[in-house]
């Protein structure tokens, strides 16, 4: 684009025939025409820049919006929800005057292109969302998915992603308490790097992203604006990868966690002194997003002088400044009388802060550059009135054949010896193996409030030192289940995260999600998405846990090959006293092991079918959300009343996986008996949902059994904590030392 003359609003009106590079900026022809229609003239270069990033899939949710509405329409009644969908993050009442905000976002595409920076800035972005609500960030979690564990590119992507998450989160002083690491060939070329964060505040400290009050000043603070990440949202996150196109590396942002740490402290200090009217972080779409969202959510308009934005590179054009996704920046709206104090606090923390504009009593967002007006728009048309697509969707033709390919009919181990070998192979398989090599690269101690961290079923953080109030979070997703049946798969993800929170003794309260799918332009993918959203919305309605917000990541595909549909669900819970939390590890020899729930022959999508048969087919395990709710209630009561000393949810890998993990973590073995009515194979490896393993002190057995009986929850005594091996009576014995070697050796051998 030629820089002379300056493409002002007047100039645009006078030169209607100038061709603008709308296609290069990721806009479709009809979208560009819509912009022209809204403005009544061609957009200026700067306006085009803003519309192109804000109307991108990543920022506008144009393909997903029509489906996501269900989360609101089907939202269950909940007293806990203080701020719902639409803000930077949802806010939940956890009692005692505390509120918790949490959210999960994707940083999938950048993390494939540049694993370290992509993952690092994913953490940075989600943390700024949390601060923007007025909360102090207290923990992060990272659900990660990579290609096959032994694929050479996984060795490039995974160590970089893990180092990036650690490098950024550790340096911010945020304990990393949960998440997942999953390997599957379907994520080859499209790794999923989802980042979640939790923040805590008092009710009265909740802040929202809006600019109100004519004359209030708009302050940009944090890092200088540079040329990094230009078009990140529109180009990188909203298109599929294609070998023929040029490298996308310049569209990946570069993070500086030290700057972000200062930003956190400085922002929280400004909040404490009540200096902030409205606040917005600068993430995807940078200043375009912050100015248009702040202005459209408030009561007035906004005038911004772009010349005042501190730059890292003085040659940046106004379009580039508007589109830059330089990290560690925030935008605050401050009353004129409080500006001086706000700037003082920024100076104390060595954070650059500049007044770049003010709230006006009009309804336009006007941006000036070198004295000329280069943007004059209704901010709502940029931020909220983007295109909405009713993308065609259709159940794929192959779905029936996939579901008919029944995993329950796969050959099963014929002898106890064969069963033993398969169990050993399973616990050593990359997905079932210990992820310690990864999680030990994350700080989980910092802030001194970590009660539970991975590999526990949920991460748990103490919120109040005096009362012991705490919050728990679990994230789960199973792309294999969702591929077999997206509706059920989404509900299984919800059920597992809900169960994981309850297993540690916390009461599930609310849900956030990160919905990772292929291209919405493929009707089969769109069907998967529609089904998953419907399943999740129905499930949340039934469980009484509202969705507080979330994130959609589409275009996770290379060429024709889409990833498995992968809805990742985060459930937040609360526990009155963290002293009553239940850990996974076996605590004492002699304690009785109970299996809660029903075990059926359910092997579709199972770890066994993948590891032993490299198979994916049939139906995923059935979901019974009423049973999940009952199981959760029993687990929470048992934890509160001291009836169980350890508990572990049963999910992929089945019962034997849970027993092995509890045994290895506790350094104590178990003797198990196959219960009547079940064969050893199904008992050990079925993945029926709605189940948990608990260890009951002998003194509590009667009381515990009575409770389960009275509430109608099947509870089967299956063994005892004992010895230094896992013994399945009449079948086989596996010494803990062998199990430990198998379980803990795999990941370092592949990746270290």
Partner 1 sequence: MTARIGVVTFPGSLDDRDTQRAIRLAGAEPVALWHKDKDLKQVDAVVLPGGFSYGDYLRAGAISRFSPVMDTVIEQAKAGLPVLGICNGFQVLTEAHLLPGAMLGNDHLHFICRDQKLRVENAETAWTGDYRRGQEIHIPLKNMDGRYVADPYTLDKLEAEGRVVFRYVDFNPNGSLNDIAGVTNEAGNVVGLMPHPEHAVEPLIGSGRTDGLPFFTSILKKLVNA
Tell me if 166 contacts partner 1 by CB under 8 A.
yes
Region near partner 1 per CB under 8 A, out of 61-69, 206-214, 253-261, 670-678: 253-261
Name which position in 6, 11, 155, 173 contacts partner 1 (CB under 8 A). Answer: 173
Name which position in 5, 40, 246, 448 contacts partner 1 (CB under 8 A). Answer: 448
Tell me if 352 contacts partner 1 by CB under 8 A.
no
Q: Which of 659, 149, 144, 180 is nearest to 429 (CA)?
A: 149
Name which position in 103, 109, 128, 261 contacts partner 1 (CB under 8 A). Answer: 261
Phi and psi at 724, nearest 5°, equal: -125, 35
Name which position in 373, 462, 627, 629 contacts partner 1 (CB under 8 A). Answer: 462
β-sheet with 81-83: strand ranges across:
81-83, 90-95, 98-106, 192-202, 136-146, 176-183
- Least Å distance, CB 352 to partner 1, is 14
Tell me if 442 contacts partner 1 by CB under 8 A.
yes
- Least Å distance, CB 162 to partner 1, is 8
* Token pair in block for residue 502: 């309850």
Q: Is 107 among the catalytic positions?
A: yes
- Residue 478 is classified by DSSP as -
Phi and psi at 121, nearest 5°, equal: -75, -20
Name which position in 49, 138, 451, 607 contacts partner 1 (CB under 8 A). Answer: 451
Distance of CA 615 to the CA centre of its chain: 28
Region near partner 1 per CB under 8 A, out of 250-258, 329-337, 364-372, 568-576: 250-258
Tell me if 449 contacts partner 1 by CB under 8 A.
yes
- Least Å distance, CB 719 to partner 1, is 26
3-state secondary structure 48-114: HHHHHHHCCHHHHCCCCHHHHHHHHHCCCCCCCEEECECECCEEEEEECCEEEEEEEEECHHHHHHC
Tell me if 167 contacts partner 1 by CB under 8 A.
yes
Q: Which is nearer to partner 1, 403 or 447 (CB)?
A: 447
Name which position in 15, 440, 699, 729 contacts partner 1 (CB under 8 A). Answer: 440
Tell me if 200 contacts partner 1 by CB under 8 A.
no
β-sheet with 732-735: strand ranges across:
646-649, 692-696, 592-596, 715-721, 670-672, 725-728, 732-735
Q: Which is nearer to partner 1, 241 or 349 (CB)?
A: 349
Q: Which is nearer to partner 1, 447 or 637 (CB)?
A: 447
Binding residues for substrate: 106-109, 128, 253, 325-327, 553
Q: Give the three-state DSSP class for 718.
A: strand
Q: Please give the Cα distance from 105 to 43 (Å, whole number).
A: 31
- Residue 186 is classified by DSSP as G
Tell me if 445 contacts partner 1 by CB under 8 A.
yes
Tell me if 214 contacts partner 1 by CB under 8 A.
no
β-bridge mates for residue 540, sequence order = none
Name which position in 30, 465, 466, 614 contacts partner 1 (CB under 8 A). Answer: 465
- Least Å distance, CB 441 to partner 1, is 5
* Bond into 36 cis (ω within 30): no
Tell me if 578 contacts partner 1 by CB under 8 A.
yes
Cα atoms found within 13 Å of the Cα of residue 488, Cβ hemisphere only: 17
Residue 204: exposed, middle, or buried by beta-carbon count in 10 A (0-12, 13-18, 19+)? exposed
Q: Which is nearer to partner 1, 268 or 734 (CB)?
A: 268
What residue has token string 């596996």?
734
Region near partner 1 per CB under 8 A, out of 17-25, 255-263, 289-297, 610-618: 255-263
Tell me if 354 contacts partner 1 by CB under 8 A.
no
Q: Which of 67, 107, 207, 648 is catalytic?
A: 107
Tell me if 587 contacts partner 1 by CB under 8 A.
no
Tell me if 558 contacts partner 1 by CB under 8 A.
no
Name which position in 8, 70, 170, 491 contacts partner 1 (CB under 8 A). Answer: 170
Q: Which is nearer to partner 1, 253 or 305 (CB)?
A: 253
Name which position in 293, 325, 376, 443 contacts partner 1 (CB under 8 A). Answer: 443
Q: Which is nearer to partner 1, 354 or 447 (CB)?
A: 447
Name which position in 280, 450, 500, 606 contacts partner 1 (CB under 8 A). Answer: 450
- Least Å distance, CB 644 to partner 1, is 17
β-bridge mates for residue 435, sequence order = none
β-bridge mates for residue 450, sequence order = 461
Q: Give the three-state DSSP class for 120.
A: helix
Binding residues: 61, 103, 105-109, 128-129, 253, 281, 325-327, 513, 550-551, 553
Write down the H helix ranges in 432-522.
436-439, 479-484, 486-503
List the Cα angle 691/693/698 in 5-degree steps. 135
Q: Which is nearer to partner 1, 439 or 599 (CB)?
A: 439
Tell me if 466 contacts partner 1 by CB under 8 A.
no
Give, rounded to a whole angstrom, the gap between the first and last alpha carbons of the chain. 47
Name which position in 36, 66, 171, 206 contacts partner 1 (CB under 8 A). Answer: 171
Q: Helix-strand-coil percent breakdown of the chain, rounded to 5? A: 40, 25, 35
Biggest alpha carbon distance in the chain?
88
Q: Count of residues binding partner 1 (CB under 8 A)?
A: 34
Binding residues for Mg(2+): 105, 129, 281, 551
Q: Which is nearer to partner 1, 442 or 681 (CB)?
A: 442
Tell me if 43 contacts partner 1 by CB under 8 A.
no
Name which position in 25, 262, 289, 569 contacts partner 1 (CB under 8 A). Answer: 262
Residue 243: exposed, middle, or buried by beta-carbon count in 10 A (0-12, 13-18, 19+)? exposed
Q: Which is nearer to partner 1, 170 or 478 (CB)?
A: 170
Phi and psi at 20, nearest 5°, equal: -110, 150
3-state secondary structure 648-697: EECCCCHHHHHHHHHHHHHCCCEEECCCCCCCHHHHHHCCCCCCEEEEEC
Binding site for partner 1 (CB under 8 A): 163, 166-167, 170-173, 256-259, 261-262, 349-350, 439-451, 462, 465, 578-579, 581, 752
Catalytic residues: 58, 107
């Amino acid at each position: 684009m030629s820089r002379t003359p300056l493409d002002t609003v007047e100039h645009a009106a006078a030169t209607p025939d100038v061709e603008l590079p709308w296609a290069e900026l990721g806009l479709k022809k009809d979208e560009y025409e819509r912009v022209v229609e809204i403005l009544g003239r061609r957009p200026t270069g700067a306006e085009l820049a803003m519309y192109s990033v804000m109307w991108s899939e990543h920022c506008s949710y144009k393909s997903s919006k029509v489906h996501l509405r269900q989360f609101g329409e089907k939202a269950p009644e909940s007293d806990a929800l203080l701020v719902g969908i639409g803000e930077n993050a949802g806010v939940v009442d956890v009692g005692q005057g505390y509120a918790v905000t949490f959210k999960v976002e994707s940083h999938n595409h950048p993390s494939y292109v540049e694993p370290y920076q992509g993952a690092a800035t994913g953490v940075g972005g989600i943390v700024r969302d949390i601060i923007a609500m007025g909360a102090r960030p207290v923990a992060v979690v990272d659900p990660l998915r990579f290609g096959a564990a032994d694929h050479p590119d996984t060795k490039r992507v995974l160590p970089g992603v893990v180092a990036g998450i650690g490098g950024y989160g550790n340096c911010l002083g945020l304990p990393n308490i949960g998440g997942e690491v999953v390997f599957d060939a379907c994520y080859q070329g499209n790794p999923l790097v989802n980042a979640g964060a939790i923040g805590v505040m008092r009710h009265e400290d909740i802040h929202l992203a809006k600019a109100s009050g004519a004359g209030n000043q708009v302050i940009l603070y944090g890092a200088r604006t540079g040329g990094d990440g230009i078009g990140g949202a529109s180009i990188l996150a909203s298109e599929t990868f294609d070998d023929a196109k040029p490298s996308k590396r310049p569209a990946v942002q570069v993070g500086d966690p030290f700057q972000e740490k200062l930003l956190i402290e400085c922002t929280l200090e400004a909040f404490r002194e009540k200096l902030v009217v409205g606040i917005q972080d600068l993430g995807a779409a940078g200043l375009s997003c912050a100015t248009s969202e702040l202005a459209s959510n408030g009561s007035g308009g906004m005038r911004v002088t772009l010349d005042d934005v501190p730059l890292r590179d003085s040659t940046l054009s106004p379009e580039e400044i508007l589109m830059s996704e330089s990290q560690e920046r925030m935008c605050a709206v401050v009353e004129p009388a409080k500006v001086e104090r706000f700037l003082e606090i920024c100076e104390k923390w060595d954070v650059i802060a500049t007044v770049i504009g003010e709230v006006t009593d009009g309804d336009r967002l006007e941006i000036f550059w070198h004295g000329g007006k280069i943007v004059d728009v209704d901010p709502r048309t940029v931020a909220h009135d983007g295109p909405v697509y009713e993308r065609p969707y259709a159940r794929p033709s192959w779905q029936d054949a996939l579901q008919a390919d029944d995993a329950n009919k796969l050959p099963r181990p014929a002898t106890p010896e064969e069963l033993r070998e398969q169990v050993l192979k399973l616990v050593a398989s990359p997905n079932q193996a210990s992820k310690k090599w990864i999680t030990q690269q994350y700080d989980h101690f910092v802030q001194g409030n970590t009660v539970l961290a991975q590999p526990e079923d949920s991460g748990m953080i103490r919120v109040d030192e005096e009362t012991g109030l705490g919050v728990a979070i679990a994230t789960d997703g199973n792309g294999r289940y969702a591929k077999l049946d997206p509706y059920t798969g989404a509900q299984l993800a919800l059920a597992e995260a809900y169960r994981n929170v309850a297993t540690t003794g916390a009461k599930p309260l609310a849900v956030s999600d990160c919905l990772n799918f292929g291209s919405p332009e493929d009707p089969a993918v769109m069907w998967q998405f529609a089904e998953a959203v419907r399943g999740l919305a129905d499930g949340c309605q039934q469980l009484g846990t509202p969705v507080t917000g979330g994130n959609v990541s589409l275009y996770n595909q290379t060429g024709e090959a889409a990833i498995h549909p992968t809805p990742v669900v985060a459930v937040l819970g609360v526990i009155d006293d963290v002293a009553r939390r239940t850990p996974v590890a076996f605590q004492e020899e002699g304690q009785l092991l109970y299996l809660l729930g029903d075990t059926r022959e359910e092997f579709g999508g199972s770890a066994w079918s993948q590891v032993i048969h490299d198979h994916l087919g049939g139906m995923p395990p059935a979901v019974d959300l009423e049973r999940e709710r009952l199981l959760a209630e029993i687990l929470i009561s048992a934890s509160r009343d001291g009836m169980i000393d350890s508990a572990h949810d049963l999910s992929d890998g089945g019962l034997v996986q849970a027993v092995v993990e509890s045994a290895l973590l506790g350094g104590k073995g178990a003797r198990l008996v196959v219960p009547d009515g079940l064969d050893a194979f199904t008992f050990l490896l079925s993945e029926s949902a709605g189940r948990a393993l608990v260890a009951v002190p002998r003194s509590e057995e009667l009381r515990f059994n009575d409770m389960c009986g009275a509430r109608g929850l099947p509870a089967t005594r299956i063994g005892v904590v004992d010895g230094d091996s896992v013994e399945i009576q009449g079948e086989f014995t596996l010494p803990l030392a062998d199990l430990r070697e198998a379980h803990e050796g795999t990941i370092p051998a592949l990746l270290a």
